[in-house]
Amino acid sequence: MKPGFTRRIELLWYKPEGLDVLLMVLLTPFTLLYFCLTALRRFAYRTGVFPVVKADVPVIVVGNITTGGTGKTPIVIWLARQLQAQGFRPGIVSRGYGGERTQDQMSVEAASLPAEVGDEPYLMYRATGFPVQVGSDRATAVQSLLARGDVDVVVSDDGLQHYRMARCVEIAVLDSARGLGNGWLLPSGPLRESRQRLATVDVVLWNGAGETAHKDIAGVAFDLVPGPAVNLKTGEHRALQLFSGQQVSALAGIGNPQRFYDLLQRFQLEPTPVVSSDHGRVDLAAVLRDGKPVLMTEKDAVKYSDTADTNCWYVPVRAAFDVADEQQLMHRICAKLKVA
């Protein structure tokens, strides 16, 4: 999807005004069709008409009910590390969206190409070192992952609507700033499923502790805390404060790039957005011609290491919770794993 068109759709979903409301109404028949198809599909899995594949180990799904980025990848990384600290041996499965795989099921290794396996799976492997498997059918990906080695719990990156894959824990991640948008299902709004779906998940996580788009939806808040910027060419670490006051090119090929721009502005940087679609790739050489430092997300960095120069930096982020919230959250998750 072209970035300009994506931006137009986002305005319709998250900031509708004027003729946008009319367009939402015109899309209503397609929204009703989408609702009927998704409801029938879920009913078919719940009643056994469509088979559900259960793995020999518990599966935790980290997903969302909206399209676009909500911060799932940092949560998957955080959760996998937390599970290891609790004595589990985690593995990760992902669809590998954006990757052009040479075969449907692929394991992610150090020598894997992000362009093949997908930028997010490669980032998750690099950040954790845990086994990562990609495939369009996550249930099959879980089986492939278990066949590879010693894994006793699987974390699925996305897949809340992939009902073919049985799960014992469901975690829905929402963006506090954007919330549920206009509250409509696709294509009139950003929702993959109705907000009532949130009542059936085990945990709702809100990305953005200081923001409250939907106070009526209970959940646990977290923040994405940035570390020092890392130079793609030299590996040098530099505090974001040292870029303060500078004009920089901001590259964020993620679902919600505004969060990255806002983060840079919090450190008094002056970002000029580089337009890129989610999982997309731009001509980095062209971006570098104006001589400004290029700051990008860590997800983008895995795609540009071969074309970057010393003016290219990425900003890693980690999911951070209140200590008490984190302890209670892991206690709830581990309790469900032990009875799975």
Distances (CA, A) of 317 to 22, 132, 224, 250: 39, 20, 6, 15
Reading the block at residue 275, the tokens are 């337009």
Reading the block at residue 205, the tokens are 């996580």
**Residue 5, in any domain of the structure:** no
**Residue 247, in any domain of the structure:** yes
How many other C-beta atoms can be found within 10 angstroms of the C-beta atom of residue 3?
Answer: 17
**Residue 289, in any domain of the structure:** yes
**Residue 86, in any domain of the structure:** yes
The residue behind tokens 């198809």 is 37
Per-residue pLDDT of the chain (340 residues; tens, 9 = 90+): 445 556 667 778 988 777 778 888 899 999 999 999 999 999 999 999 999 999 999 999 999 999 988 999 999 999 999 999 999 999 999 999 888 888 999 999 999 999 999 999 999 999 999 999 999 999 999 999 999 989 999 999 999 999 999 999 999 999 998 899 999 999 999 999 999 999 999 999 999 976 655 668 889 999 999 999 999 999 999 999 999 999 999 999 998 899 999 999 999 999 999 988 887 889 999 999 999 999 999 999 999 988 999 999 999 999 999 999 999 999 999 999 987 6
**Residue 37, in any domain of the structure:** no
Q: What is the CATH number of the domain that holds 305?
A: 3.40.50
**Residue 40, in any domain of the structure:** no
Residue 168 sits in the same domain as residue 248: no
Compute the Cα dihedral for 236, 242, 248, 253 and give only its sign. positive
Residue 110 sits in the same domain as residue 188: yes
Residue 217 sits in the same domain as residue 244: no
How many other C-beta atoms can be found within 10 angstroms of the C-beta atom of residue 310?
Answer: 11
Residue 130 sits in the same domain as residue 269: no
Residue 102 sits in the same domain as residue 152: yes
> Could you tell me which residues come within 8 angstroms of residue 60 by beta carbon, excluding any fewer than 6 positions away?
79, 153, 154, 155, 156, 167, 168, 169, 170, 171, 333, 337
Residue 317 near residue 74 (C-beta atoms within 8 A): yes
**Residue 95, in any domain of the structure:** yes
**Residue 75, in any domain of the structure:** yes
Residue 206 sits in the same domain as residue 329: yes
- At position 277, the amino acid (one-letter code) is S
Sheet holding 90-94, edge to edge: 106-108, 132-134, 90-94, 153-157, 59-63, 169-175, 203-207, 220-226, 317-321
> Running DSSP on this structure, what letter comes out for residue 235?
-
What CA–CA distance (Å, rounded) separates 329 from 76? 14
The domain tally of the chain equals: 2
Residue 203 near residue 172 (C-beta atoms within 8 A): yes
Residue 194 sits in the same domain as residue 142: yes
Residue 252 sits in the same domain as residue 116: no
Domain span holding position 309: 228-315
pTM: 0.94
Residue 198 sits in the same domain as residue 253: no
pLDDT of residue 1: 47
Residue 261 sits in the same domain as residue 156: no
pLDDT of residue 5: 59
Q: What is the CATH number of the domain that holds 213?
A: 3.40.50.300
The candidate with the shortest Cα–Cα distance to 134, out of 80, 77, 92, 96, is 96
Residue 144 sits in the same domain as residue 209: yes
Q: Across the chain, which distance is largest between two alpha carbons, in Å?
A: 60
- At position 286, the amino acid (one-letter code) is A
Residue 286 sits in the same domain as residue 150: no
